[in-house]
Amino acid sequence: MMMEWSDLKVFLAVARAGTLGGAARLTGQTQPTMGRRLRALEAALGQRLFQRGSAGFVLTEEGLAMRAHAERIEEETLAIERRMAGAQAGLGGLLRLSSSDWFGLHVLAPICAAFMKQHPDVTIELLTDARLLSAARREADLLFRITPFREPEVVQRRFMALDYGLYVSNRQRAALPRRGRGLRLLTMDSAFEELPDVAWLKNSFPEGRVVFGSNSREAQARLCAAGAGVAVLPDALARALPGLRRVERPQDPPGREVWVGYHEDLRYSARLRAFLEFALARVGEDG
């Protein structure tokens, strides 16, 4: 037979109270209901679990054996209930994040460090990959992108705005040539030529020459700080690195928005919700 936890609760209540009336008070059910359910359980098992007498309900040998097993099941069930009830107070488990390299290092890593101080039982994996990892295949739990998600099963929201600026090495004090004659441009590689900030840089300095392209924003930033040329960089990245100076322009480069998404099956994950709320509060404070 297939027993349910509710059957075992009835059995344990009778074993502990010794009477149907006492068991009914323990479980919040009526005495007739307790008697009916106990008889059904014994009939299904084909065993007498109690001896009925003037002293009340006394466990048989079969009942004693069953009580030991039932109490172990009860202990594990209560442990699960406690864990779920206390999930917000004591979070634990693995949370896998995905983002671009510089964003993971300079925006998410400090947030992760602060979050783990509050929730030391949470383990975080931060995956910085040029590939767009999949929420559907559970390659990551929380994914951060600069474009909205197209997958229908992904729950998404705007995470933060990214402002961009034009940067040079802080050792460079000369004014930039108006049309960029002789200027060395550091930008994204050819696969990203259509990005708004790439187009802005080339249009702003049509006589400049692209001397370095990379899909790594941090690589661009470090070459810029070393004096290799000018670059359009996210302000959040440039502030985190030494040696850069922002050049004020009549019109700043176009900014971007960061979107965060997760698979709809994870909408009730306590650690995911807690991290997302924490991260949103942190970028709100910084912004």
How does pLDDT run across 177-225, given as a tens digit for each residue?
A: 989 999 999 999 988 888 899 999 999 999 999 999 999 999 999 999 9
Pick from 279, 263, 272: which is nearest to 91 by CA? Answer: 272
* Phi then psi dihedrals of residue 234, to 5 deg: -65, 135
Measure Cα distances from 196 to 152, 167, 199, 203 in Å. 26, 16, 5, 10
Q: For 276-284, what is the mean pLDDT?
A: 92
Q: Return all residues near 156 (Cβ < 8 A) that are at least 6 apart.
A: 148, 149, 259, 260, 261, 262
What is the number of other CB atoms lying within 10 angstroms of the CB of residue 58? 13
Please state which of the ranges 82-91, 149-158, 259-268 shows the lowest mean pLDDT: 82-91
Model's pTM, two decimal places? 0.64
Q: For 248-257, what is the mean pLDDT?
A: 92
* Residue 206 · residue 180 · CB < 8 Å: yes
Distance, CA of 166 to CA of 98 (rounded, Å): 27
Q: Does 88 have pLDDT greater than 60?
A: no
* Residue 108 · residue 144 · CB < 8 Å: yes
* Residue 225 · residue 242 · CB < 8 Å: yes
Task: Output the CA torsion sign for 36, 38, 39, 44.
Answer: positive
At residue 123, the pLDDT reads 93
Name the pLDDT band for 86 (thresholds 50, 70, 90). very low
Pick from 107, 99, 108: which is nearest to 144 by CA? Answer: 99
Pick from 139, 135, 130, 169: which is nearest to 260 by CA? Answer: 135
Q: Return all residues near 215 (Cβ < 8 A) that are at least 6 apart.
A: 130, 188, 189, 191, 192
Q: For 25-39, what is the mean pLDDT?
A: 89
At residue 265, the pLDDT reads 81
Radius of gyration in angstroms for the set of CA atoms belonging to the chain, rounded to a whole number: 32
At residue 3, the pLDDT reads 72
Name the pLDDT band for 87 (thresholds 50, 70, 90). very low
Name the pLDDT band for 163 (thresholds 50, 70, 90). very high
Q: What three-state secondary structure class fits 80?
A: helix
Q: Does 285 have pLDDT greater than 60?
A: no
At residue 199, the pLDDT reads 94
